[in-house]
């Protein structure tokens, strides 16, 4: 059975993990900092903060941005649950914007249509690896005072062009923070893992704070009004004096915010470092497979292949070779085909081909339906897209033989009676 996604682990990945296991640090050690530095360098960002998983990265980003009860956070209807749930984690309300029917991403138009006065953050999701139109989205969000957290769980390594220059996901100036996931089906993996990237020193500091219990060590903190005298600092915060804490020294730690244990281990980061070295090769291989699929399915009349970014409006031109494809999603008109999706999935499985559905529109989940009285037509494009989507296997370790099996199986199962195999 060929799965829809799978990690690619090679000998040097294994050796890197074994080396950490033989060393002194399993967590909070040098591999974490090395991974963060390598990640920041790869993306061209000033800071990378590695955390336990991509969901934790989104939660930490919400906390760092100061999102709280009474705030509303707009994300894509076409995403994994975590892009919305992170708003609920901090007591805010997750709300949903529709997608563009070609890119499957939110746009300024869909965000604007969903906008309410209490929106304090937007979380655009770079679906399947294709970056959102971040310059335009940032223009809208910033003019309305909302923070921008780009959920780039699918898009590590993707780039886009704006005004004749290329920008990388993770470092361009149109997101305050960008999050990644290193779950095994994502482009590179640490087993479980995630990261927040930012160019902003204060946000980076706050991410580190919330990653580890809201705790700072040493005599002063970078996250609060500072004076040389901690008593004056306490006074500035309106705290009554506490003489037992007058004694300061190397052991000292202090907590100003409720944080979490969202740390990642050195074991995971060693794997991440080894994987990061292969990222460009992985992206290249994924792009080749996408091109092969697109060519193989172009003539199927019920099938719509992933949107080719060259068709973007000229104000936002992308080059397809610079999309780090995470998913390959076909849109299939199951109604005209005369076979329900479940049957197509079963027939493909019988031929050894695993598939997946990305995603059930999040606003249709019972939790959100109950709270927001979301109806079937809140995000019609995401709903229409969902009715037709099917993700085919896509990962670098796929062999030429496996790709051939997938292509032949799809052509056999999803063909109109007149079409040839």
Closest-approach residue to ligand PLP (CB): 54
Binding test (CB under 6 A) with ligand PLP, winner from 45, 49, 54, 71: 54
Binding test (CB under 6 A) with ligand PLP, winner from 7, 8, 53, 159: 53
The answer to whether 125 contacts ligand PLP (rule: CB under 6 A) is yes
CA gap 240, 254 in Å, rounded: 15
How many chain residues bind ligand PLP (CB under 6 A)? 14
Cβ 239 to ligand PLP, closest distance in Å?
36
The piece of 49-57, 111-119, 229-237, 378-386 that touches ligand PLP (CB under 6 A) is 49-57
Of 364, 268, 323, 291, nearest to 157 (Cα)? 323
What lies within 8 Å, CB to CB, of 129 at 6+ separation is 154, 155, 158, 187, 286, 323, 324, 325, 326, 327
The answer to whether 130 contacts ligand PLP (rule: CB under 6 A) is no
Cβ 183 to ligand PLP, closest distance in Å?
4
Binding to ligand PLP by CB under 6 A, coded x per residue (else -) over 58-97, reads: ---------------------xx-xx--------------
SS3 content of the chain, % helix, strand, coil (to 5): 40, 15, 45
Q: Are strands 389-392 and 159-162 parallel, antiparallel or unpaired?
A: unpaired
What lies within 8 Å, CB to CB, of 339 at 6+ separation is 347, 413, 414
Q: Is-contact 396 286, C-beta < 8 A?
A: yes
Token pair 């019988």 is found at 350
Of 287, 276, 128, nearest to 189 (Cα)? 276
Cβ 282 to ligand PLP, closest distance in Å?
16
Binding test (CB under 6 A) with ligand PLP, winner from 8, 55, 75, 391: 55
Closer residue to ligand PLP (CB): 53 or 265: 53
Closer residue to ligand PLP (CB): 57 or 273: 57
Give the DSSP per-residue string, 253-265.
Answer: EEESS---B---B
Binding test (CB under 6 A) with ligand PLP, winner from 59, 72, 120, 154: 154
The answer to whether 211 contacts ligand PLP (rule: CB under 6 A) is no
Cβ 300 to ligand PLP, closest distance in Å?
27
The piece of 52-60, 271-279, 294-302, 315-323 that touches ligand PLP (CB under 6 A) is 52-60
Binding test (CB under 6 A) with ligand PLP, winner from 162, 172, 183, 211: 183
Q: Cα separations (Å) of 52 from 84, 114, 190, 381?
A: 18, 32, 9, 33
CA gap 103, 317 in Å, rounded: 13
Closer residue to ligand PLP (CB): 194 or 259: 194
Closer residue to ligand PLP (CB): 167 or 180: 180
Q: Cα separations (Å) of 291 from 51, 173, 325, 364, 405?
A: 33, 30, 11, 33, 16
The edge-to-edge listing of strands for the beta sheet with 303-304 is 303-304, 328-332, 389-392
Binding test (CB under 6 A) with ligand PLP, winner from 36, 151, 254, 383: 151
Question: Interior CA angle at 85 toward 81 and 86, to 5°?
Answer: 125
What six digits make up the tokens of 249?
């020294």
What six digits make up the tokens of 217?
């060590």
Cβ 2 to ligand PLP, closest distance in Å?
20
Q: Is-contact 59 38, C-beta < 8 A?
A: no
Closer residue to ligand PLP (CB): 63 or 403: 63
Closer residue to ligand PLP (CB): 9 or 407: 9
**Interface of this chain with ligand PLP, residues 288 to 347, rule: CB under 6 A:** none
Binding site for ligand PLP (CB under 6 A): 53-55, 79-80, 82-83, 125, 151, 153-154, 181, 183, 194
């Amino acid at each position: 059975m060929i799965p829809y996604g799978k990690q690619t682990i090679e000998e040097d990945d294994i050796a890197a993990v074994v080396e950490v296991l033989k060393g002194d640090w399993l967590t909070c050690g040098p591999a974490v900092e090395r991974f963060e530095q390598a990640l920041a360098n790869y993306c061209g960002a000033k800071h990378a903060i590695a955390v336990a998983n991509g969901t934790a990265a989104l939660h930490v980003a919400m906390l760092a941005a100061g999102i709280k009860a009474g705030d509303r956070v707009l994300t894509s209807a076409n995403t994994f649950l975590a892009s919305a749930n992170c708003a609920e984690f901090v007591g805010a309300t997750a709300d949903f914007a529709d997608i563009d029917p070609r890119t499957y991403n939110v746009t300024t138009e869909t965000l604007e249509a969903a906008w309410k006065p209490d929106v304090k953050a937007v979380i655009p999701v770079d679906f399947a690896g294709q970056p959102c139109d971040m310059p335009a989205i940032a223009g809208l969000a910033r003019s309305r005072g909302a923070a921008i957290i780009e959920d780039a769980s699918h898009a590590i390594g993707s780039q886009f062009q704006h005004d004749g220059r290329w920008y990388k996901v993770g470092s361009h100036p149109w997101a305050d923070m960008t999050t990644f996931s290193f779950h095994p089906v994502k482009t590179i993996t640490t087993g479980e893992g995630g990261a927040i990237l930012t160019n902003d020193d204060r946000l980076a500091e706050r991410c580190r704070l919330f990653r580890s219990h809201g705790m700072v060590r040493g005599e002063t903190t970078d996250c609060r009004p500072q004076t040389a005298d901690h008593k004056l600092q306490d006074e500035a915060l309106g705290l009554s004096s506490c003489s037992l804490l007058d004694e300061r020294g190397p052991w000292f730690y202090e907590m100003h915010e409720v944080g979490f244990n969202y740390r990642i281990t050195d074991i995971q980061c060693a794997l991440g470092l080894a994987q990061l070295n292969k990222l460009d090769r992985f992206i290249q291989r994924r792009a080749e497979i996408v091109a092969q699929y697109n060519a193989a399915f172009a003539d199927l009349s019920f099938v719509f292949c992933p949107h080719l970014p060259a068709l973007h409006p000229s104000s936002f031109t992308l080059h397809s070779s610079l999309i780090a494809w995470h998913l390959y999603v076909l849109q299939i008109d199951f109604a005209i085909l005369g076979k329900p999706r479940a049957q197509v999935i079963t027939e493909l499985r019988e031929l050894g081909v695993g598939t997946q559905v990305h995603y059930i529109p999040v606003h249709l989940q019972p939790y959100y339906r109950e709270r927001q009285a979301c109806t079937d037509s809140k995000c019609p494009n995401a709903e229409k897209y969902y009715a037709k989507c099917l993700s085919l296997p896509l990962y670098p370790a796929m062999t030429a033989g496996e790709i051939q099996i997938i292509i032949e199986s799809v052509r056999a199962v999803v063909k109109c009676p007149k079409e040839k195999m």
